[in-house]
Amino acid sequence: MPRPPADQQRLGVALLRVSTEKQFQEGESIEAQRRKVEFVAKRQHIDIVSFFVEHYSGRKTDRRTLDDMFAFLEANKDVSFVLVGDIDRLTRGGTEIYLALKRRLYEMGVELIDTTGIIQPSRNRLEHLGVEYSWAVESPSHYAEIFMAEKARAEASDILTRTIGEQIQLTRQGYQVRPPNYGYQNVKITTEDGKKKTIMEPHPEQASFIRRIFQLRAEGKTTDEQIAQHVNAMGYKSRVRRVFDPVTRKVVGMTKQTKMTAKQVQRLVRKPIYCGIRLEAWNNGVPVEAPIEPLVSVHLFNAANRGEVVVSKQSDGSPKVSYNSVKYKNHKHNPEFLLRHVVLCPVCGKPFLASRSKSKSGKYHGYYHCSRGHKHRGYAKAEFEGTVANYLVSLQAKPGFLGLFREVVRDVWIQKNRARFEAQRTVEDQIQLLQTKQASVIDKLAICSSPIVLKRLENEVEEIEAAIEEARKAAPNSQINEADIDRFFQIAKMRMEHPEQAILNAVAKPEIERDWGFIFETPPSIEEIQNGTPQLTLLYRFNRDFPMDERQMVAHTSLHWNTFECYLAEIISQFPGLNLGDR
């Protein structure tokens, strides 16, 4: 991508981003980034015509400020540079997102510059021959950029791991890490170890509404609708919350206060926190006693819930929360046993059967089993699905793999289709000439009055149309195009970052069969999964077996290109609704 000549005005824009208020105030503040960017722009004689400021996470892909910047660049073709403080200010989404953003800038004729000097200008490796192809243009800092992009993603993951991990620990100890439940307010206390932690205490006004709801529901003389009306008559109003601008994170308004409804009554009475029991997903659903003052007693809580939710104590004195038992009915389309459609029995090679059985305690337990002409093979549902999940987790994409393999596929695709493209251009030129000739004959038809000449002209139009159709049939066709490659790797990214989620969260047989076929060349048996020996598709084999060596990947992709091209085209056809604009 050539730079503007030295005597031509060099115009650029700057992208400044912070994701938290702490960053805004400290070392990575917007002003600090602005000073760095302005210094580099001055040194490189670049005039910054616009600053795009973003208060948003770099891990996200739906960034409005980034969209605004690309729209600005599209409208202002004379802008040739985008300046950022560092690669992590552009994105923390990892290699794939970074390379996609940089490629988009390259296609617009815009160069990306960072103030740390990591990113180097691209160069044409065929410049000495006087030719240029997109696959031959690369930056000397390509691998350094990939490293920094992955480092930025890993740093974001580390930060979240530390902060969320600490919040999970506090939650498991019964402390508050979120806004308070209605009826409470958050207060800071100092614990015995000298640390400040957050607990909830009854709100002086809201607590009375919660107590009254439980009292009326326990009496059983009024409907939930009447309870809501009664509480509203007492003066209930919902909380007022601040509304933040999604880009600037500034307060742009406040929510309106609303009245209590019957659905809210039903939702509030089911929360064990009001009798002092915290039940959180972060504690794996295990109830703990919270260090707070309960608004209602356990007896009143149970009476208000009428058996739908019951709080009691276990033999060791720890709290227990029970919900209505669910009766299960076995049927062949049961969505709870979708793995039976795709995992095979290791003996007969047929898909497993699945069912639930009721134990003496009254609980239902799920099993995958098969006994078609052989000794019974059975696996507990949790064990079976845990084995599959653990193997799928092991198939996660290596850091940087998808970005590198995408470049490999694009390079091989260009090599394989170069002759096809040249033939395609020749045919298109011929079709264009025929269409021009046809248009000229049609113009003559419009002004011709001789029946004989008119007939000849009509025949000539038909002959030209037949020639156009023949040319179109002769045009070489590729199963895939460059947009298909981008779409395929978007699908791959969604499924290789957390391969177990797409499989275990499937809701129907066609969905799990589609996602299973993306990973496995042939359906594996449970023993193959246990041994780690299933037949994987080319994409997953490359991720598992090959080092991050571009030459090896190019060689093997070229060798298996026909198989991979068919596989890629099939996957694209199975995901017709994917929106590339969501990247």
Question: How confident is the model at residue 423, as a pLDDT?
Answer: 65
Cα–Cα distance between 252 and 57 in angstroms, integer?
19
CA neighbor of 554 nearest in space, from 419, 417, 421, 410: 410
Calculate the alpha carbon distances from 223 to 269, 308, 310, 434 in Å. 13, 16, 20, 79
- Report the 10 Å Cβ neighbour count for 360: 5
As a whole number of angstroms, the distance between CA 182 and CA 257 comes to 13
**414-420: long-range contacts (C-beta < 8 A, 24 or more apart)?**
414/133, 414/134, 414/135, 415/135, 415/558, 416/558, 416/561, 417/478, 420/476, 420/478
**How deeply is 176 buried, as exposed, middle or buried, from its count of CB atoms within 10 A (0-12, 13-18, 19+)?**
buried
How far from chain centre, in Å, is Cα 36? 32
What residue spans define the domains of the chain? 11-155, 184-323, 335-387, 401-582
With CA atoms as reference, report the closest residue to 290 among 205, 199, 154, 406.
Answer: 199
What distance in Å separates the CA atoms of residue 395 and residue 55, rounded to the nearest whole number? 34
Query: Is residue 237's pLDDT more than 70?
Result: yes
pLDDT tens-digit profile of 473-493? 665 555 667 777 888 888 888
263-286 per-position pLDDT tens digit: 999 999 999 999 988 888 887 778
Q: Which amino acid is at 309?
A: V
Most confident of 146-160, 382-396, 450-464: 382-396
Q: What is the pLDDT of residue 7?
A: 56
108 touches 114 (CB < 8 A): no
Kindly state the DSSP code that residue 524 receives in the 8-state scheme. P
Which H or E run contains 556? helix 550-559
Residues 485 and 410: beta-carbon distance below 8 Å: yes
- Of residues 471 and 558, more confidence is placed in 558
Q: How far apart are CA 39 and CA 29, in angstroms?
A: 16
**Apex 102 CA angle, 98 and 103, nearest 5:** 115
According to DSSP H, which parts of 448-534 are helical? 451-474, 482-496, 499-504, 509-519, 526-531
pLDDT of amino acid 546: 72
Residues 6 or more apart whose Cβ sits within 8 Å of residue 193:
none
Q: What is the mean pLDDT of residues 318-333?
A: 66
Contact status, residue 144 vs residue 102, Cβ threshold 8 Å: no
Contacts of 260 (CB under 8 A, 6+ apart): 209, 228, 231, 232, 236, 238
23 pLDDT band, cuts 50/70/90, is very low
- Facing residues of 83 across strands? 14, 113
Q: What is the pTM of this model?
A: 0.43
What does the pLDDT read at residue 215?
92
For residue 333, what pLDDT band results from cuts at 50, 70 and 90? low
**Angstrom distance (rounded) from CA 44 to CA 67:** 26
From residue 529, how far is each of 195, 249, 364, 391, 542 by CA, in Å? 47, 47, 26, 7, 18
Average pLDDT value over all residues in the chain = 82
Least confident range from 167-171, 243-247, 270-274: namely 243-247
Q: State the Cα–Cα distance between residues 186 and 196, nearest whole angstrom.
A: 12
Contacts of 357 (CB under 8 A, 6+ apart): 364, 365, 367
pLDDT in the model for residue 93:
82
Contacts of 60 (CB under 8 A, 6+ apart): 93
Q: Mention every residue, 6+ apart, whose C-beta is less than 8 A from residue 476.
A: 420, 423, 424, 427
Per-range mean pLDDT, top range of 134-148, 464-478, 515-529: 515-529
Stated as kind and residue range, the H or E segment containing 422 is: helix 401-447
If 0-12 CB within 10 Å is exposed, 13-18 middle and 19+ buried, where does residue 262 land? middle
pLDDT of residue 325: 46
Q: What is the pLDDT of residues 412-446, one digit of tens each?
A: 777 777 656 666 677 777 778 878 887 887 777 77
The domain defined by 184-323 folds into: Hect, E3 ligase catalytic domain fold (3.90.1750)
Integer Cα distance of 405 and 477 in angstroms: 24
Mean pLDDT of 378-385: 89
Q: Does domain 11-155 have CATH number 3.40.50.720?
A: no
